[in-house]
Structure 1
Amino acid sequence: MLSLGPLAFAQPWLLLALAALPAIWWLLRATPPAPRRVVFPPFLLLARLASSERTPARTPWWLLLLRLVVAALLVLAMAGPVLDPRPRLAADRPLLIVLDDGWAAAPGWKRRIDTLRDLLARAQRENLSAYLLRTAPDREGPVLLADDPGRLARRVADFAPRPWPVRHDLAREALGRLEAPAFTVFWLADGIVSDREGETAAAEFARALRRLGPLTVFADPPADRARLLREPTTEGDGLALELVRPTPGPAETVPVAAHGPGGEILARTELVFAEGERIGRGRITLPLELRNRIARLATAAPGAGTVVLFDERWRRRMVGLTGAERDPEAQPLLSELYFVSRALAPYAELREGRIADLVRSRLSMIVLADVGRLTEDERTALEDWIRRGGVLLRFAGPRLAAGGDGLLPVRLRQGDRILGGAMSWSKPLPFAPFPDEGPFAGLETTPEALVYRQVLAEPGPELASATLATLEDGTPIITGRRMGEGWLLLVHTTANTSWTSLPLSRLFIDIMRRTLALAPGVGGRPEGMLRASRVLDGFGRLGAPPPDLLPLSAAALATAEPGPDTPPGLWAPVAAATDSDRTAGVALNLQKAVTDSRALDLGELVPEVRAYERSRETPLAPWLLTAALLLALADLAIALALRGLLRPVAATLLLGALAAVPADAAEDDATLAQLLAQTRLAYVRTGLPEVDRLSAAGLEGLGFVLARRTSVEPADPVGVDPATDELALYPLLYWPVPPEHPDLPPGTLARVDRYLKNGGMILFDTGDAGRLLPGQSGGPGEQRLAQLLEGLDLPPLVPVPENHALTRSFYLLREF
């Protein structure tokens, strides 16, 4: 590259062609212009003999100069001129670009790719070889590409952030595959770590890069880096939410939305960051029926880190309670169901009733507190309910000790066992540690939970496999077995404090929660082999899984973390992966592998950190070629005029039209190409922030519905200004018209009319349905719409006829 102050040439040797300009001058000067054709006039022959017009022997000097300028512009354009070029790269070293393309790259992806393209363009101009290392691994590990910079730049268009973390430790190992000993290294970093292990891996990776050659790091400012929406926790009748930002900052609020299975928005809330805090907190409270419909939580920021997919874990269960008849004068603390209700109330919806009524309800779990003997009808109904997936938890007591029925996990001895007291040598016993393979594995026992009295299981070959928990002396205290798709469990002591102090301890709550976790939601609990039904991409959008993604067992997926073989998304049984709405699935979220989002202090690792910014250098070749084309057309018009083949008026119009070409017409080509690459829905920007935010969210939800239920997969919605933007790029235009809608600029109605007559569709939303009573009309939004569209040539609105195509879209539209 040849640099001349602020101007540089990528191919300076082509400037030698300027030396040929004198020869071109001589050739053009020696060659006379073509003779002018004159129609032979027989009757005016004598009058034209003395004509003063003569065909020139040589081309006029000003026309020669014009053609030399065209030739010079072509030579200069072919030499690759660049205005304000970047500093030159080292000529003796190949270029190594490291791209962090994990989940944290999504918020600034476009800036990252623009920087990558600039670096490859510089390497191509200077004839350097280039290597590109992507640190988010695929199934073979980090991807190392070595190719011509031009071909690498073309492949960049297919790059997208990956919805799992980068692996700097594996990327450091991949550096050993490099062939050259020294490089000019650029690291396009995301600047995010989740834990100390990730921070250590990033530091070692930076040291490995510095050993290869001069290292320059690009990163966003810490406040602009990726944020992480943590998985919610259940608190009473709501969900507690937390959003982590990379670094402490000023107080702010961030909106988050709860979406249903079809993409509809069920609730909105705001996460509040206090000044100087990294964690913003909020809460979503919904009725149980709506809460169980939540399919995902998401903020407005793009990325898999700001999306949480829901499965059965967050669906609050419905639990039925029944026990002995209550004595109205008895103390509440002596009730069989008092402690059960207090333990389950924060985590489930409770309903008390008779067994016959409970089994007909949509319940996940039923608790029977010292119900001694069931009737035959009750037993049959409960058995059928358990086999369909329900969980029945029974507590012992005096009635069950006196004689039970056959709906028990083990056979019981008649009577009960008393531990402690004046007539007994034994003493009350605590719980023994829980088995590692049972449903209560991992729970911590407490010495305060003592058992004074219990019913004993009859010894038998099935007792060992049915024992889920024991006392310190090995006596079974909780037994259970599977029945069909459900569970039957028995606690061999009471649910109140008459036989045990267990209900007064934290262990009782933990046991009830673990038992509740065995109860599935509406869709059932998946088992066997699972395959990805829908997967998240790096921008947090659900899409079809890769065709070569292999299924996994439910047990393997339970311990897997998001990665190339197990991308985050929804996993469903193999036989029902195409109908995941009807069968319970497993949501694998990025948050299983990433628990925090902290800004990495890159300044401590490398000497130079730059912000992502668009290159200030400007290629001049397109402008020079455009100028050469315009001058060549002007030369053509002049030549035709000199030969009499173009009338002066036509020549003037042609030159005027050429001069009227806007200089910035080529600047919008990239934007138009991007908008035309995918189908997009658009909404009209009203200038009212809340209205525009709701419009964007509504079209985003509509896009999810279309992608899920039709073959249309629209890109992100776009806000447009009907007065200036090209409307023909969008098949559907959503136009909210609140009463405070501002006036339209002059000429807007003409553009709208042209859009409609060329086949466009506009949905005007006045919002009056939420303001008026049924049957009322003429609301403030409708009145404002009439004012805005006054003068627009629109046909009158008519009801949809019965034979209209929309009436057959029953799977999308239920009513009009």
Structure 2
Amino acid sequence: MLSLGAFAFAAPGMLALLLVLPVIYWLLRLIPPLPRLVRFPAIRLLIGLEPSEQTPMKMPWWLLLLRLLLATALILAVARPLLNPQTELPGKGPLLLVVDDGWSSAPGWTTRIAHAERLIQRAERAGRLVALVGTAPAPLDAPAVRKGALRPDEMRTILRAFRPKPWPTDRAVAANEIDQLRLDPSAYVVWLSDGLDDDGSAKLTERLQKFDGLQVVLPDASSTPLLLMPPAAEGRDLKVTALRPIADGPRKTAIQASDDQGRVVARIELDFAASATKGEGVLPAPPELRNRMSRLDIEAQGGAGSAVLLDERNRRRPVAILGERASATGQPLLQEVYFLERALDPYVSLTIGDRETVLTRSTAVLLIPDGASPSATDRDEIAKWIERGGIAVRFAGPNLAAGGDTLVPTPLRLGDRALGGVMSWGQPSALAEFPTNSPFLGIPVPKDVRIQQQVLAEPTPDLADKTWARLADGTPLVTAEKRGQGYLVLIHTTANTGWSNMALSGLFVDMLQRLVTLSRGVAGDGINKALKPWRTLDGFGRLGAPPSGAQMLPADAEQTFKPRPPTPPGFYGDENAQVAFNIGGHVATPKPLVLPGSVATDRLSEGGETDLARWCLLAAAILLLLDLLLSLWLRGLMPRAVRIGRAAPAALLLGFAAFATAPDTHAQPQRAAAPAPDKPGPAPLSEEQALKGSLDVRLAYIVTGDKDVDDISKAGLEGLSEILRNRTSVEPGDPVGLDLEKDEPRLYPLIYWPITSTQPNLTPRASAALDRYLRTGGILFVDTRDQQMSFDRPVGGNPDLKRLLSGIETPPLIVMPHDHVLTKSFYLLSDMPGRWVGGKLWIESGGGRVNDGVTTLIIGANDYAGAWATDQRGRGLNPVTPGGETQREMSFRVGVNLVMHALTGNYKDDQVHIQDIMQRLRR
């Protein structure tokens, strides 16, 4: 490699071809251009003329220079010029790439892979083989790939299919895999680390140090992985916690909650103190909102570690207590309702009342203390409610011990068992461990809980199956029976301190919470038995179908189980009831990677050398095309095209000038001569603006005055224009920002208008310009960017939208039908997502006023420019939720359909000639 400071050549030997340039120059000077073809039909004028001696004309100097530049560009391309070249890899052996691909590698994954590709490119220049080893176990359904040292082109293909895994790394296993590869000890190793420590880090480091060289590449601060923990109840809200491996200064991140449709329903900012590795925040979660949440995510990070799935245990279920609210004047510490209310109120949506009050509501669990002994009619209604899926929890007491109550899961003996009574024990009894069929399995049993009195169950053959809790002497404390779709549960002691001290313990709260989650089958059908995988997360945190070969989640997964290939994180169960199995809480607390002092380290960055060969080839192609056009022009084969090319700009300018000054056919005659004061005339059309808008198809956006919003609008339309150039025959120019006070909007087929709360009202001139634009066939795409377009009147429901459109004659709007031409103008679409999903798209009703029924006004709410906005490398500038890059692709397709609809109208919806076409096809 020949290095010239910040510039180098990977194949400097090819520069010797520059010595051939003088030969090319001599040949080009020697060979004249082809004679020009001149059409001259008057042959008779040549009669009698003596032919003069003709000598070949020399090539023009500018054409000679053009062809020499073309040859130079080709020579430079094969010499592979490099900008900011990197030094050659140390050593002479193969290159070994060790890549951390566990859950913590998802942030900055693209940068990590780009860094690995640059290393492979450097190995390819040196003619060295490349080996690749991942430190996370491979998925069960991973395709088989070749192992060992391979050619760089083969390894590049394998690397591009590499993906992060939704489970931790196992570096000890990776060290053993490296031993099995039997690589040359002279290999040079680059370890692309995630920056986290694990149990096998020391073993892997020791193994890698046995090679000739080792470099560890650590992530930068922006790619440091964060681990999101499952939320904890904080009263009526949720307490959210995130962990980071090292306290590297203050850091701020955002946590968003979304529902099962991917719509964001809540969002909070979470701050890390400069010296803290834990960030905490409280997410406001009223019952209606909390019950809609299905997952939490760390914004702008991605990955399975930054996502927490929520199941019924995280929701506030509607629970009712049969009876009256505890009274402060009647010794509340002795009232059963008081203890039940204090145990459940922070975690559920609680209602207290009589049977008619609580059963007419959407109640999931009904608690029946002994003091509220239901009547025979009430028992019949409660039994029917249980059959329909309700959970009724009864508590024992003197009323139930008296007998005659049939609403119990198992027959009871008359009377009760108490200290000093007929059926008594010598001292209060403790609780035994919960049986395996109990929803309480896994709850620790306090040693100080004592039961002094209880009602006894009659011995029956199925009593053991119905028993969910026992005393130390084996007598049942909690029995239950499944009736229809619900459960009837009996706790054989009181809900207060009359018969036991259980109501004063945390065990009482834990047991009631398990019974509440049982209302959707999570506890009874999920926590205490193995569950099959239903939906699982991939390494980027996307929820999808489980991999083939995934195993059942064991019953004790909440305690010690870790995510691994057979049991990835996700939802386990079925479509009716699921248990969330997350990475947070099941992996070790993230800690920074500790390396020996002798190991060289580097930081992961997006910078690096740039291969300029493709740009040289592009320059050569452009020069070749220009040479072809000039050769045709010199031979006289393009006179007509030249004349048309010269006349086209003048014709377009004349046409637009006539269009701009023509009277409005919809206006009254007197208004054509002099515009009304409330509808000012259009701003003068400059020559530069006319050329800019007429010679190229351009997308436009309305300048709002908010720099951030305007920058996103420009970047979004630039990204959409690039997609149009790559996928369609449309070749749009750079997008244009419109100031309606100065610019003429009718030069542009589609105008994007983001709505902001700070945007001032339109002036009469701006309103008149937009109104003329709509009445003469333009399409205005209004984006409220608030994801709230679900109401019946879009303009009236958004105050900013109503305010900004107040001066424009707005047509009646309807929700876009599913078969509208916008869904099939280029792509076949069933949804219209942007950066968000869920917002409706509103169009003009009645088929439109002009343009053969094409709608002139479209209103959306999903922040489409935010999804279209990309950087110079084509990467999205803003996160797209919930679908990520797949949703961004769908939003680009929505944009393509909008532009094709603006340019081609409703031809995809035209069925006039379908019969003739089908008849010709049959022939």
TM-score band by shorter chain is: 0.7 to 0.9
The answer to whether the 8 A contact 1:253-1:271 is kept is yes
Counterparts in 2 of 1:222 and 1:631: CA distance versus 1, 3 Å: closer
Indicate the SS of the match to 2:256: strand
Does the Cα contact within 8 Å between 2:257 and 2:294 map onto a contact in 1? yes
One-letter amino acid of the counterpart of residue 390, structure 1? G
Shift in Å, 1:782: 4.8
Q: Which moved more, 1:520-529 or 1:147-156?
A: 520-529
Deviations 1:10-64 (A, max 9, x none): 334444545555655565566566567776986766997597x852487788876
* Contact map agreement 2:789 2:841 (CA 8 A) in 1: no
Matches within 5 A, 1:321-720: 321-322=321-322, 330-355=330-355, 357-370=357-370, 375-420=375-420, 426-435=426-435, 438-446=438-446, 448-520=448-520, 534-542=535-543, 544-545=544-545, 548=548, 550=550, 552=552, 555=555, 561-573=562-574, 580=575, 583-594=576-587, 596-602=589-595, 604=597, 606-615=599-608, 617-629=609-621, 631-632=623-624, 688=706
Provide the C-alpha distance between the structure 1 equivalents of 2:700 and 2:587, rounded to a whole number of angstroms: 34
2:399 aligns to what SS in structure 1? helix
Q: Which residue of the partner structure matches residue 295 of structure 1?
A: 294
Secondary structure class of the residue paired with 2:135: strand
Per-residue deviation, residues 509-532 of structure 1 (Å, max 9, x unmatched): 333333334332799956999665
- Identity among equivalent positions (%) equals 38
Deviation at 1:541, TM superposition (A): 3.5
Equivalent of residue 171 in structure 1, options 174, 197, 219:
174
Moved more, 496-505 or 245-254: 245-254
Structure 2 match to 1:255: 254
Contact kept in structure 2, 1:722 and 1:752, CA below 8 Å: no
| AA in 2 matched with 1:568 | P
- Alpha-carbon distance, 1:276 to partner: 1.9
CA distance in 2, matches of 1:306, 1:633: 51
The alpha-carbon deviation at position 239 of structure 1 amounts to 0.9
C-alpha spacing 1:689/1:409, structure 2 compared with 1 (3 Å): farther
In structure 1, distance between residues paired with 2:22 and 2:711: 64
Instruction: Tell me how far apart the structure 2 counterparts of residues 737 and 149 of structure 1 sit (CA, whole Å).
Output: 51
Tell me, yes or no, if the aligned pair for 2:514 and 2:523 is still in contact at 8 Å: no
Query: Partner letter of residue 236 of structure 1?
Result: G
Deviation at 1:233, TM superposition (A): 0.9
Where structure 1 has 5 or more consecutive residues not aligned to the other structure, the ranges are 574-579, 655-680, 697-719, 788-793
Flag structure 2 segments of 5+ consecutive residues without an equivalent. 647-698, 715-733, 739-746, 824-829, 832-837, 844-923
Size of the aligned set, in residue pairs, is 737
Structure 1 residues 245-279: Cα deviation after superposition (integer angstroms, max 9, x where no partner): 33224445433222223233322222233342222
| 2:276 corresponds to | 277
What is the 5 A alignment of 1:65-80? 67=67, 70-80=70-80
Question: Match of 1:184?
Answer: 188
Per-residue displacement from partner, 1:64-114 (whole Å, max 9, x unpaired)?
676555434423322323244211124731122222233322221222122
Residues 103, 162 of structure 1: 8 Å contact kept = yes
Deviations 1:560-585 (A, max 9, x none): 64444444334452xxxxxx4xx333
Structure 2 counterpart SS, 1:431: coil
Instruction: Report whether the alignment pairs 1:231 with 2:219.
Output: no
* CA spacing shift, 1:16–1:474, aligned 2, 3 Å: same
Following the alignment from structure 2 to structure 1, what is the Cα–Cα distance between the partners of residues 713 and 62? 59
d(CA) in 2 for partners of 1:754, 1:76: 51
Q: Which amino acid aligns with 2:220?
A: P
Q: Deviations over 1:298-352 (max 9, x none)?
A: 2322313222222111112222222599899632222232222222222222222
1:621 is aligned with what amino acid? Answer: A
Can you list the C-alpha shifts for 1:368-396, whole angstroms capped at 9, x where unaligned?
A: 22269754443343334334443332222
Q: In 2, distance between residues paired with 1:757 and 1:209?
A: 71
Secondary structure class of the residue paired with 2:349: strand
Partner of 2:659: none
Deviation string 1:196-245 (CA, Å, 9 cap, x unpaired) is: xx2x3123222222223311222222464111221111122111111223
For residues 536 and 753 of structure 1, the distance between their equivalents in structure 2, rounded to whole angstroms, comes to 51
> Which position in structure 2 is the counterpart of 1:265?
264
Distance 1:738 1:157, change over 3 A: farther
Query: Alpha-carbon deviation of 1:751?
Result: 14
**Partner letter of residue 478 of structure 1?**
V
Amino acid at match of 1:735: P
Distance in structure 1 (CA, Å) of the matches to 2:772 and 2:213: 59
Say which SS state the counterpart of residue 351 (structure 1) adopts: strand
The 1:92–1:754 alpha-carbon spacing in structure 2 relative to 1, beyond 3 Å, is farther
**Are the equivalent residues in 1 in contact too, given 2:18–2:72 (CA < 8 A)?**
yes
DSSP 3-state at the match of 1:367: strand
Query: Does structure 2 conserve the Cα–Cα contact (< 8 Å) formed by 1:14 and 1:75?
Result: yes
* SS of equivalent residue, structure 2 residue 367: strand
Q: Is the 8 A contact 1:101 1:134 kept in 2?
A: yes
Q: Residues 421 and 427 of structure 1 are in contact (CA less than 8 Å); yes or no, is this contact kept in structure 2?
A: no
Distance (Å, rounded) in 2 between the aligned partners of 1:751 and 1:147: 62
Distance 1:721 1:786 in 2: 27
Counterpart Cα distance in 1 of 2:297 and 2:81: 46
**Which among 803, 806, 812 is matched to residue 798 of structure 1?**
812
Secondary structure of 1:415's counterpart equals coil
Check whether the contact 1:309–1:587 (CA below 8 A) recurs between aligned residues: yes
- Specify the code of the residue in structure 2 equivalent to 1:619: D
1:409-461 deviation digits (Å, cap 9, x = unpaired): 33322222331599988333333444465333344444543333332333444
What letter corresponds to residue 798 of structure 1 in structure 2? P
Give the counterpart letter for 1:104 in structure 2: S
The answer on whether the counterparts of 1:132 and 1:144 sit within 8 Å (CA) in structure 2 is: no
Q: In structure 1, how many angstroms separate the alpha carbons of the residues matched to 2:333 and 2:157?
A: 74
**Structure-1 separation of matches of 2:777 and 2:556:** 55
Q: 8 Å contact 1:100–1:135 — kept in the other structure?
A: yes
Distance between the aligned counterparts of 1:372 and 1:604, measured in 2? 72
Letter in 1 for 2:784: D
Alignment of 1:140-219 (within 5 A): 145=147, 147-182=150-185, 183-193=187-197, 198=198, 200-219=199-218
Amino acid at match of 1:227: L
**Which secondary structure state, in structure 1, belongs to the residue aligned with residue 271 of structure 2?**
strand
Residue pair 2:439, 2:524 contacting (<8 A) in 1 also:
no
Q: Measure, in 1, the Cα distance between the counterparts of 2:366 and 2:815.
A: 51
What is the CA–CA distance in structure 1 between the aligned matches of 2:203 and 2:620, rounded to whole Å? 53
Compute the displacement of 1:481 (Å): 3.8
**Preserved CA contact (<8 Å) 1:493 1:499:** yes
Deviation of residue 491 (structure 1)? 2.6
Q: Which residue matches 1:663? A: none
**Cα shift at 1:357:** 4.5
Structure 1 Cα separation of the partners of residues 628 and 490 of structure 2: 98
Residues in 1 aligned to 2:555 and 2:483: alpha-carbon distance in whole angstroms: 20
Amino acid at match of 2:401: A
Secondary structure, in 3 states, of the residue corresponding to 1:82? strand
Q: 1:40 to 1:258 in 2, by over 3 A?
A: closer
- Aligned partner (choices 751, 756, 759) of residue 737 of structure 1: 756
